[in-house]
Amino acid sequence: MKLTWARTACSHPALSGVSRAHFGELFAELAGPWEATRQSALRAARGGPRRRAAGAGRKPKLVFFDRLLITLVILRHQLPHQALAELFEVDRSTVSEAVRQVRPLLAARGFAVPDRPGVRLKTLEDVFAYAEAEGIELRL
């Protein structure tokens, strides 16, 4: 019950920083890469292929939807991990691990440029090149 409330509250654009429609698109785009990374890490930890049937074993404490949501809220508001851990009824370390897993996926995706569909800035060099091409003066 409490988890549903936390998920609903955190998915509000004022907390997550993205519309619910955009969050759905982001989720659809990143869920596959996250699962592939997760399965690769599990395979490395096992030292080989699965020994149990798919679906057997310990379940993640947070599904990817919640991991992405928590990461967006933390990146937007810098809330303490403990605060979100209380809302989602998990340990602080679970929240920290979720952020460690999702941030690289978001960074690899790049940052959209407003009013420029399809343009994504992934590196600092991309930012400098875009600024130079558009005649924008950067101040650091």
Same domain, 26 and 88: yes
Q: Which tens digits make up the pLDDT trace of 17-54?
A: 889 998 999 999 999 999 999 888 888 988 888 787 77
Copy the structure tokens of residue 77: 């508001």
Residue 78 has a pLDDT of 93
Same domain, 20 and 35: yes
Same domain, 134 and 91: no
C-alpha closest to that of 106 among 8, 16, 45, 21: 16
Same domain, 97 and 134: no
Same domain, 9 and 71: yes
Same domain, 88 and 68: yes
Give how many domains the chain has, as a whole number: 2
Determine phi and psi for 132, rounding to 5 degrees: -65, -45
Residue 2 has a pLDDT of 55
Question: Which neighbouring-strand residues pair with 123?
Answer: none
Residue 1 has a pLDDT of 45
Same domain, 102 and 127: no
Contact call for residues 28 and 65 (beta carbons, < 8 A): no
C-alpha closest to that of 65 among 34, 40, 19, 111: 34
Segments forming the whole domain that contains residue 140:
113-140
pLDDT over 70 percentage in the chain: 98
Contact call for residues 107 and 121 (beta carbons, < 8 A): no
Same domain, 68 and 96: yes
CB atoms within 10 A of CB 129: 12
Res 3 pLDDT > 70: no
Same domain, 70 and 98: yes
Q: Is the dihedral of CA 78, 79, 82, 86 positive or negative?
A: negative
Q: How many residues does the chain have?
A: 140
CA separation for the pair 1, 17 (Å, rounded):
24
Q: Which tens digits make up the pLDDT trace of 127-140?
A: 888 888 888 888 87
